[in-house]
Amino acid sequence: MSNNKTILLVDDEQDILEFLTYNLEKEGFKIVTANDGIEALEKAKTHAPALVLLDLMMPRMDGIETCQLIREEKRLNNTIVVFLTSRSEDYSQVACLEAGADDFIKKPIRPRVLVAKIKSLLRRAERSDDKVQNTNSSVVINRDKFVVEIKGQIISLPKKEFELLELLVAQPGKVFNRDQILASVWGNEAIVGERTIDVHIRKLREKLGDEYIRTIKGVGYTFNEN
């Protein structure tokens, strides 16, 4: 697991913060807490946590806006953002993904599941950090800086968008189905669904242009090397 074991917990309910802190400190994590989005953003900039566990509904600044602002901070590109929510509607999950979330943990919280999920996410992040730079004739993916260069233009991407593009670019022309993408980018333990992929593909096309990622109807997606 990464040497960075700092987790930022963000919730406006003090008893939830205490419950989460108790269970995660037992596992050796360093815990930082915040009661709302504004405080969370300040502490994220100060501590650069490995993971942020973020409540959706909060006063002053909700989880969606907080996540969006975290994703604008280049220093926090590698930070995993996980929403803690009791809401399971598709539109809520899509809104979280649009904001840059990596995953969800549903309430009510089960401590063993929570700890296992967090450890799994951090292990996957550590493994992905070992990947080398990938290059293509028109696309350069720089993992050290977490940026993509296309035709000389530098584009910064959130972590999951970056990893999804890296997967496709690594084997141009290969068609990846949804199950392969979910397993490679989110892991088999992820609770996000197929809408997750649709959202991230759309956001990549908005930033890169439509010509790079092709949809193979009824199958999946492929990177267009031409």
Query: Are 23 and 102 found together in one domain?
Result: yes
Q: Is the pLDDT score of 122 beyond 80?
A: yes
Query: Are 168 and 89 found together in one domain?
Result: no
Question: Looking at residue 199, which CATH number applies to its domain?
Answer: 1.10.10.10
State which H helix or E strand residue 104 sits in. strand 103-106
In-domain check, residue 1: no
In-domain check, residue 50: yes
Q: Is the pLDDT score of 2 beyond 70?
A: no
Q: Is the pLDDT score of 171 beyond 90?
A: no
Higher-pLDDT residue of 44 and 123 is 44
> What's the number of domains the chain is made of?
2
Segments forming the whole domain that contains residue 114: 6-128
- pLDDT tier at 9, thresholds 50, 70, 90: very high
In-domain check, residue 49: yes
Question: Looking at residue 60, which CATH number applies to its domain?
Answer: 3.40.50.2300
In-domain check, residue 144: yes
- Bridge partners (DSSP) listed for residue 106: 85
Q: What is the pTM of this model?
A: 0.66
CA distance 162 to 128: 11
Query: Are 156 and 87 found together in one domain?
Result: no
Structure tokens at 17: 């913060």
Query: Are 78 and 172 found together in one domain?
Result: no
Query: Are 11 and 103 found together in one domain?
Result: yes
Q: Is the pLDDT score of 207 beyond 50?
A: yes
Q: Is the pLDDT score of 91 beyond 80?
A: no
Query: Are 15 and 111 found together in one domain?
Result: yes
Query: Are 23 and 120 found together in one domain?
Result: yes
Query: Are 118 and 182 found together in one domain?
Result: no
- Using alpha carbons, list the distances in angstroms from residue 20 to 27, 114, 154, 181: 11, 9, 38, 31
**Strands 147-150, 153-156: parallel, antiparallel or unpaired by DSSP?**
antiparallel
Contact 204, 164 (CB under 8 A): yes
Query: Are 49 and 113 found together in one domain?
Result: yes
Query: Are 51 and 93 found together in one domain?
Result: yes
What's the pLDDT at 131?
46
Mean pLDDT of 27-50: 95
In-domain check, residue 70: yes
Query: Are 112 and 138 found together in one domain?
Result: no
Q: Is the pLDDT score of 190 beyond 80?
A: no
Among residues 128, 143, 175, the one where a domain terminates is 128
Query: Are 52 and 100 found together in one domain?
Result: yes
